[in-house]
Structure 1
Amino acid sequence: MTLIDQIPPDADPDALFDAFSSWTTERGITLYPAQEEALIEVVSGANVILSTPTGSGKSLVAAGAHFSALARDEVTFYTAPIKALVSEKFFELCKIFGTENVGMLTGDASVNADAPVICCTAEVLASIALRDGRNADIGQVVMDEFHFYAEADRGWAWQIPLLELPQAQFVLMSATLGDVSRFEEDLTRRTGRSTAVVRSATRPVPLSYEYRSTPLTETLTELLETRQSPVYIVHFTQAQAVERAQALMSINMCTRAEKDQIAELIGNFRFTTRFGRNLSRYVRHGIGVHHAGMLPKYRRLVEKLAQAGLLKVICGTDTLGVGVNVPIRTVLFTALTKYDGTRVRTLRAREFHQIAGRAGRAGFDTSGFVVAQAPDHVVENEKALAKAGDDPKKRRKVVRKKAPEGFVNWGQNTFEKLIAADPEPLTSRFRVSHAMLLSVIARPGNAFDAMRRLLEDNHEPRRQQLRHIRRAIAIYRSLLDGGIVERLPEPDAQGRIVRLTVDLQADFALNQPLSTFALAAFELLEPESASYALDMVSVVEAILDDPRQILAAQQNKARGEAVGQMKADGIEYEERMERLMDITHPKPLEEQLFHAYHVYRHSHPWVGDHPLSPKSVVRDMYERAMTFSEFVSHYELARTEGIVLRYLAGAYKALEHTVPEDLKSEDLQDITAWLGELVRQVDSSLLDEWEQLANPAEEDAEEARERADQVKPVTANARAFRVLVRNALFRRVELAALDRADELGSLDAESGWDADAWGEALDAYWDEYDALGTGPDARGPKLLQIEEVPQDALWRVRQTFHDPAGDHDWGISAEVDLTASDTEGRAVLRVTSVGRMSDLR
């Protein structure tokens, strides 16, 4: 029986509250006073702004809000800032209300979209609000983590529903809201409902605070000895978090029995990357690492070990605050300042409380602990003074260490101010875009009146409103000049005085806004070209968001190689520096794509909101015939391999869903299959979890993740595995063409083909030919032979070299071990010979 079965015959507020509180009591849950107050207001139909500490049960209030909306036969929306949290809530609400009553919209996934309870990202709700306004079938909106309203890039999406859905009841929730009187007044005015602000400073698990000037290892040892673990050590860069984990390996964290428990829980988990192998050492020692650059499966493993109480320390970043289930007792700040992309500054009160609030585990701890470390130079000075003792002469002789250059100071006074400070008021981040105007123009009614209300009655100061009005006018004129919008001499049947002359896809402002441009650009490519499949990939990559860390690494690599070549060519320093400015990451089809983009923009001006960005990540990896690990190693991206994988997963989804079936050549299907299998073998959760959403009744979020960790054998996907084999062989061809016997030797040392063996074979080839082809013809299927030997669980393969004479007699012979390939999630080859085919007969 689900909660929906508890709905009373009528929607009387008292009956609704009694029914929901009875349901919680049956589950052994006693409502906190703030929860009761919020729920009473919700069932009475009021808007509610719920500002209570982390761990105070805001999710239960959200469930009660959905319950009351269903009782009134209203559609209720739950929004969150990240897709992972939306997915988590979707599965949770499926359990509470039944699968048939819960749907999800995230821009790249849609499940049961007509359900009465919808989980979605804030951007999806904002798009619906702009498209349908007060006509939207939305009776209630529950906004979780509402402090994202102040996010510079995304805050507009949290404001739009407040402005455009006056018919809805709002429940705004966050642990760090600050002064909300403006929202209280604004919501009441817009919706005609009373608005209740429910606050509570009382945490279910109270916090105690301490400032320490002892060395961090000493502080940590004391916390462990006094049973204040698990300890989350907060860093403000991913590199610092990983370095700290390594530095703490000298401390004995766990007993032998605890280490055995860790090993048992880890089981057969696959640590498939270099960082993963390091993480394996850390977690087996009782130390976790947690940051956004990790593979999702590694973060989940750390969370799972933490939830089992097996990790004593977790070294992570300040991104822990949203949607992460890591139970911790103590939060230890290594600094009270951070670099925000522009400058180093002191933490804001909201940031501090968001992180500190994670301390203390409801149901486990009677108190949580927040500790701040003094700056390193202060700690060293304190240590030196302590060594000098009470002797005034010795203390005067102590040479105090100065703060590093550019250091932004903090101290105990900073810590105490942050503890006492309320979170800063939320700042409006309204934004005008082509998509906004198009959505408003497309809805019934007078678009000018609707836009005037939106532009003059938002939360921005008047000066900013005027700026937005000027931008809106400029966009409207461009739409008019481009023939996208036309004025009507008389209002139409739906009251429009302007209308669109083009049909917009229902979700054009979601997912990939440039996907319609990609469809047009595909038609410009030549299907008979040898590079057609890779050019299709380049079009798709150009419409994806930039993975900044990867592109920066590619640029650094290209510049490093260019400097080496220019030095070898004797080019002077000044000229080298001047030339380097023109070197960037690879941008295939750049000129052709930008020309097409500018032409397309004349008739589709809204694409101007979304700049085109040619790049080569998937293409680069494929052309270099690299595995995921080789790509990460080549560009030194070990600390951000999770970002690499998320980009590859996004590219795979875009190739699957953006390219029409009739344009998918055999080569492109091979590339797409290869990319999907590569992503799955590294971490299948990014694809399998979303695909599983189509059948949510079968398993919940945790079960879906458990299943995602059980990777299918790589050989099960025959098409993708053949590409993996081809790439593994071609990687050797490319290295051979560069005469890199050392790298080939490291690849094939276990096969007996060390650097000397490869060097001897290549010398013989270079005695006969002066080049070795690596272009499209060299990759062609005619130069690869595969013989499957099922009884021996292996393939015999031969990759023929593309020599300049066209003799095609030289090549690499190898055996592919299918069993080992399934174990390692890649094509495992054993080179058997390198030489002339005629010599082997």
Structure 2
Amino acid sequence: MPNLYSEAFTNDRVPGAGVTAVLGPTNTGKTHLAIERMVAHPSGLIGLPLRLLAREVYNKIVDKVGANAVALVTGEEKIKPSKPRYWVSTVEAMPRDLDVSFLAVDEIQIAADLERGHVFTDRILRRRGRDETLLLGAATMRPMIERLLPGASIVTRPRLSQLEYAGDRKLTRQPRRTAIVAFSADEVYAIAELIKRQHGGAAVVLGSLSPRTRNAQVAMFQSGDVDYLIATDAIGMGLNLDVDHVAFASDRKFDGYQFRRLTPPEFAQIAGRAGRATRDGTFGTTGRCAPFEPELVNALQNHSFEPVKMLQWRNAELDFASLGALQVSLAESPRHEALTRAPVAEDLRVLDHVARDPEVREIAQGKAAVERLWDVCQVPDYRKIAPAAHAELVITLYRFLMQKGRIPDSWFAAQVDQADRTDGGIDTLSARIAQIRTWTFVANRPDWLADPEHWQGISRDVENKLSDALHERLTERFVDRRTSVLMRRLRENTMLNTEIGKTGEVIVEGHVIGRLDGFTFAPDAAEAGSDAKALQATAQKALAGEIDARAEKLSNAPDDQFILT
């Protein structure tokens, strides 16, 4: 099987030597195990599927060994102390030239994914720690590990808690601490509006949110400010949430190629967010999602799924001798029946576009120039525009790098300035975040700008500013601050801070909730429709003492205090 594994792992070595695959469903403590194993070694590298998850794991390792010992590397963020021992990275950004004692790759079942799968397959086959390599993922990967990495040790871990099907419930009847899952921003926003009217508010999590905005939204849910989380499948990958119930409002999504129903393992990845550690969780359906058929329920409750039959593969041994040679090497087919050539990905589509440009063909002569072109094609299309439009940006960057040696500061500053505004609504701010993520990615290339660290700081500050503004807009739109504060205080059973104004207005925890006329409470007319129940419950609790005092005063009043009209 030539060219399946890199030279380093075919020299007199069994492909799976030194590799342990830790397989099992969600909530089995696999990532926690990898962190524990890594810090037991003198050096290590872990590759994770999301920038957000990489940040979370980085923070955990820093807590254990200190910030000076840990580096974080993603496409858009680099934290690199002078002598790091441990590296945390997204799978795509895993440094290639590191020699570490320990190496781990998380969520290896993504190797079957049409878009990102070939990257995970490459790491599974080619990346190793000197002393220990851990591959973490779903039990469905077992046959693949056995076929591709003979000699690997396979450990299966059971889920720490039970997952039960709770049937179908209306959107407005979902229990507290529920995550409601849909697969488009419009659907997520519509459900969040409904939950706001019924329950005072919801946090929103979408894949397009920046990590900072997503964290701020999740923090509202975790702290109990809101009891509902409305999300896409962005919550399926390792985010640690205190969710008791996952309700599917939809069972279909667009996967980049077509609209299709989720596969049972995809349902499991999301449903598995319910329950945490040893606390049991439930899942069910709601909204327009039909109740699950018994076979699917059985598979999700018992974590029994069809094994993965094929992994996506793309040649990583590229030939940069010429543009044509690069395209030929990228089109190479795998030489193992368990691997299939990955569909044409975003970077390849961009390369095809730019290779038709006469000026690019003229500049891209020789190994270094072709390699640089492929490097620029890796800039992700965060803006989700057409490949031809994204290719125009790639051509501009490539011209700068080849003709001037660097991207000019004045041009780069103008691009960053375009995104540096916090006015506008949710969609406008989301579009600006996508823009600034592009420039953050470019700033994190070590030799594309004269002073990359300066621009990394500026682009990060702009992204943070936009992220905070987006969090504010989402909260304004989907959280009724008054109702959520009152509901939380009621649940906590604390004494409510209540004042009654001179003209009878009732102020609880700083919020006017209505008026008290004699013994009659009239809720605030403007809000009575959306959260009348919350206001009535709050009023009953807050005014009990005042009404008792008024009744006492009435019963003890002398006759001359009464006027009959």
**For the structure 1 residues 426 and 482, does the alpha-carbon distance in structure 2 shift closer, same or farther, using more than 3 Å as the test?**
farther
Q: 2:182 aligns with which of 235, 251, 275?
A: 235
How far is 1:455 from its partner?
6.6
| Residues 640, 345 of structure 1: alpha-carbon distance in 2 compared, 3 angstrom cutoff | farther
1:369 pairs with one of 268, 275, 282? 282
CA distance in 1, matches of 2:83, 2:469: 26
CA drift of 1:545 comes to 2.6
1:205 Cα deviation after fit:
1.8
Could you tell me how far apart the structure 1 residues matched to 2:252 and 2:364 are? Answer: 51
Give the match for residue 450 of structure 2.
660
What do the CA deviations read for 1:584-641 (whole angstroms, capped 9, x no partner)?
A: 98x9x96x99699699999x9xxxxxxxxxx99976984xx994324x5xxxxx2473
Using the alignment, how far apart are the partners of 1:596 and 1:293 within structure 2? 24
Question: Are the aligned partners of 2:52 and 2:211 in contact in 1 as well (CA < 8 Å)?
Answer: no
Q: In the TM superposition, what is the alpha-carbon distance from 1:301 to its structure 2 partner?
A: 2.8
- 8 Å CA contact 2:143–2:308 kept in 1: the answer is no
Instruction: Tell me, in whole angstroms, the C-alpha distance in 2 between the residues paired with 1:650 and 1:599.
Output: 16
Matched, 1:64 2:32: no
Match of 2:293 in 1: 412
Deviation at 1:107, TM superposition (A): 4.2
How far did 1:322 drift? 1.7
CA shift, 1:101, in A, is: 3.1
TM-score by length of 1: 0.43
Change in 2 beyond 3 A, CA 1:656/1:116:
closer
Give the Å deviation of 1:423. Answer: 5.3
Q: 1:9-48 counterparts in 2 under 5 A?
A: 46-48=18-20
Which residue of 1 is the match for residue 439 of structure 2? 651
Change (3 A) 1:544 1:455: closer
Q: How does 1:238-387 map to 2 (within 5 A)?
A: 238-251=185-198, 253=199, 285-294=200-209, 296-362=211-277, 365=279, 367-373=280-286, 375=288
Pick one of 142, 145, 155 that aligns with 2:104. Answer: 142
Residues 159, 411 of structure 1: alpha-carbon distance in 2 compared, 3 angstrom cutoff: closer
2-structure distance, mates of 1:63, 1:661: 34
SS in 1 for 2:313: coil
Match of 2:314 among 421, 424, 431: 431
Indicate how the Cα distance of structure 1 residues 316 and 544 shifts in structure 2: closer, same or farther if over 3 A, else same: closer
1:91 to 38, 41, 59: 59
The C-alpha deviation readout for 1:39-60, integer Å capped at 9, x for no partner, is xxxxxx8422112232222233
Aligned pairs for 1:464-475 (under 5 A) are: 464=341
Structure 1 match to 2:492: none
Deviations 1:781-828 (A, max 9, x none): xxxxxxxxxxxxxxxxxxxxxxxxxxxxxxxxxxxxxxxxxxxxxxxx
Partner of 2:170: 215
Q: Which residue of 1 aligns with 2:22?
A: 50
* Superposition deviation, residue 355 in structure 1: 0.4
Aligned counterparts, 1:712-791, within 5 A: none
Q: Deviations over 1:660-703 (max 9, x none)?
A: 369x9xxxx9xx999776544333699xxxxxxxxxxxxxxxxx
Give the Cα–Cα distance (whole angstroms) in 2 for the partners of residues 595 and 87 of structure 1.
31
Structure (1 or 2) with the larger CA radius of gyration: 1
Partner of 2:136: 173
Alignment match, 2:527: none
CA offsets 1:218-249 (integer angstroms, 9 cap, x no match): x42xxx3xxxx301111111211111121123
> Does the 8 A contact of 1:211 with 1:374 survive in 2?
no
Equivalences for residues 76-87 of structure 1 within 5 A: 76-87=44-55
Match of 1:436, SS? Answer: coil
Deviation at 1:211, TM superposition (A): 2.2
Rounded Cα–Cα distance in structure 2 between residues aligned with 1:230 and 1:595: 48
Amino acid at match of 2:71: G
Give the 3 Å change call, closer, same or farther, for CA 436–685 of structure 1 in structure 2.
farther
Tell me if structure 1 keeps the 8 A contact 2:99–2:129. Answer: no
CA contact (8 A) 1:349 1:424 kept: no
In structure 2, the CA distance between the partners of 1:675 and 1:195, relative to structure 1 (3 Å rule), is: closer
Structure 1 residue ranges without an equivalent (≥5): 1-44, 189-193, 254-284, 379-409, 440-450, 486-499, 515-542, 553-583, 605-614, 633-637, 687-841
Distance 2:394 2:163 in 1: 56
Aligned to 1:123, the other structure's residue is in SS state coil
| Structure 2 counterpart of 1:576 | none
CA contact (8 A) 2:75 2:93 kept: yes
Bigger helix share: 1
1:119 paired residue number: 88
Residues 326 and 509 of structure 1: CA distance in aligned 2, closer, same or farther (over 3 Å):
farther
Partner of 2:422: 628
Query: 2:224 and 2:467 mapped to 1: Cα distance?
Result: 24
1:641 alignment partner AA? L
Distance 1:180 1:437, change over 3 A: farther
| Structure possessing the higher relative contact order (Cα contacts under 8 Å, 6 or more residues apart) | 2
1:595/1:91 Cα in 2 relative to 1: closer, same or farther (>3 Å)? closer
Q: Following TM superposition, by how much is the alpha carbon of 1:78 offset from its aligned partner in structure 2, in angstroms?
A: 0.6
Match of 2:152 among 187, 190, 195: 195
Q: Read off the aligned partner of 2:170 and give its amino acid letter.
A: P
Distance in 1 (alpha carbons) for counterparts of 2:458 and 2:368: 41
TM-superposed CA distance for 1:67, in Å, is 3.9
For the Cα contact (< 8 Å) 1:321–1:358, is it kept in 2?
yes
Separation (CA, whole Å) in 1 of partners of 2:69 and 2:183: 41
Cα distance in 2, alignment partners of residues 239 and 114 from structure 1: 46
Instruction: Give the aligned residue type for 2:89.
Output: C
Counterpart amino acid of 1:333? F
Q: Deviations over 1:152-175 (max 9, x none)?
A: 23222222233334674321112x
TM-score, normalization: structure 2? 0.61
The structure-2 alpha-carbon separation of the partners of 1:418 and 1:333, relative to structure 1 and needing over 3 Å to count, comes to: farther
Structure 2 distance, partners of 1:93, 1:432, is 33
Aligned CA-pair RMSD:
5.3
CA distance in structure 1 between the partners assigned to 2:449 and 2:261 by the alignment: 47
Please name the residue that 2:429 is paired with: 641
- Aligned-residue sequence identity (percent) comes to 18
Match of 1:519 in 2: none
Matches within 5 A, 1:398-797: 411-413=292-294, 415-416=296-297, 418-419=299-300, 421-422=304-305, 424-425=307-308, 427-432=310-315, 436-438=318-320, 461=339, 464=341, 512=376, 545-548=381-384, 551=385, 622=418, 627-630=421-424, 632=425, 638-639=426-427, 641-651=429-439, 654=442, 658-660=448-450, 679-683=463-467
CA distance in 1 between counterparts of 2:86 and 2:459 reads 35
Taking the aligned partners of 2:274 and 2:238, their CA distance within structure 1 comes to: 15
Return the alpha-carbon distance in structure 2 between the equivalents of residues 48 and 685 of structure 1.
44
1:160 to 98, 101, 122: 122
> What secondary structure does 2:270 align onto?
helix
Structure 1 residues 483 and 287 mapped into 2: Cα distance closer, same or farther (>3 Å)? closer
